[in-house]
Structures are given as structure tokens and as C-alpha cells.
């Protein structure tokens, strides 16, 4: 029931998710990228996680993740906590919030 209500509100334009653009270092192989995507997608505040493909001029070990969230409190500390022991290998370089319409 709650899911249907949230879906209707989202579809009608009442609720829009913020987009977090997170640049992470240490993401050389696809397996690492998928692990981070899975960990962040499991957060209750996160609706979706997209990995942006690397362009030829981008550093080889850095990847950009786009996270859709309805929680304005989602910050770098929560993302680091979700990484757990992997946080020492995967450094968050930047986090930019692009607010949606509320």
C-alpha cells in the first residue's frame, strides 16, 4: 500500500529524487565497481545506483556513480560506512548533490 502511494506521488511530480554524483578512486576493475554499486544500492535511502562509463581522458582507476535518493541527509559519511572495510581501498574524491524538485 505504501509503495503504491509513493509511486503515485513520484509519478505525479510531488516527490523527486536528488542525484548524488560521487567520484571514487580505486575502481580499476568491473568487479570492484559492481561491489560498490551493490553496497550503495542496499542503503534504504538509495533508490538507484548507476555507474557512468569511463571516457578515454578519465583516470583509469576513477569511476563516477550516480545515486538517486529522496533523503537529503545522505552524505559522504554514510556512503563510507556502507563500504565497510572496503573504504580503505576505495576513496571518495568528490560528492556533488543535484537537488530535484520538491
The domain ranges of the chain are 16-98
Q: Which fold has domain 16-98?
A: Alpha-Beta Plaits (3.30.70)
CA atoms of 102 and 96, how far apart (whole Å): 18
pLDDT band at 84 (very low <50, low <70, confident <90, very high): very high
pLDDT (tens digit, 9 = 90+) per residue, 11-29? 544 455 789 999 999 988 8
CA atoms of 51 and 63, how far apart (whole Å): 7
Enumerate residues 6+ apart whose C-beta is below 8 A from 78.
Answer: 43, 45
CA atoms of 63 and 6, how far apart (whole Å): 31
Whole-prediction pTM value?
0.79
Enumerate residues 6+ apart whose C-beta is below 8 A from 67.
Answer: 19, 20, 22, 40, 46, 48, 49, 74
pLDDT (tens digit, 9 = 90+) per residue, 24-79? 999 888 999 999 999 999 999 999 999 998 888 888 889 999 999 988 889 999 99
Amino acid at each position: 500500500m505504501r509503495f503504491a502511494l509513493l509511486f503515485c506521488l513520484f509519478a505525479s511530480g510531488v516527490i523527486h529524487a536528488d542525484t548524488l554524483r560521487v567520484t571514487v578512486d580505486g575502481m580499476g576493475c568491473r568487479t570492484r565497481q559492481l561491489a560498490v554499486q551493490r553496497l550503495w544500492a542496499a542503503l534504504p535511502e538509495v533508490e538507484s545506483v548507476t555507474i557512468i562509463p569511463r571516457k578515454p581522458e578519465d583516470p583509469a582507476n576513477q569511476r563516477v556513480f550516480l545515486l538517486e535518493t529522496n533523503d537529503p541527509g545522505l552524505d559522504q559519511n554514510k556512503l563510507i560506512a556502507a563500504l565497510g572495510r572496503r573504504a580503505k581501498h576505495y576513496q571518495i574524491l568528490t560528492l556533488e548533490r543535484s537537488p530535484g524538485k520538491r
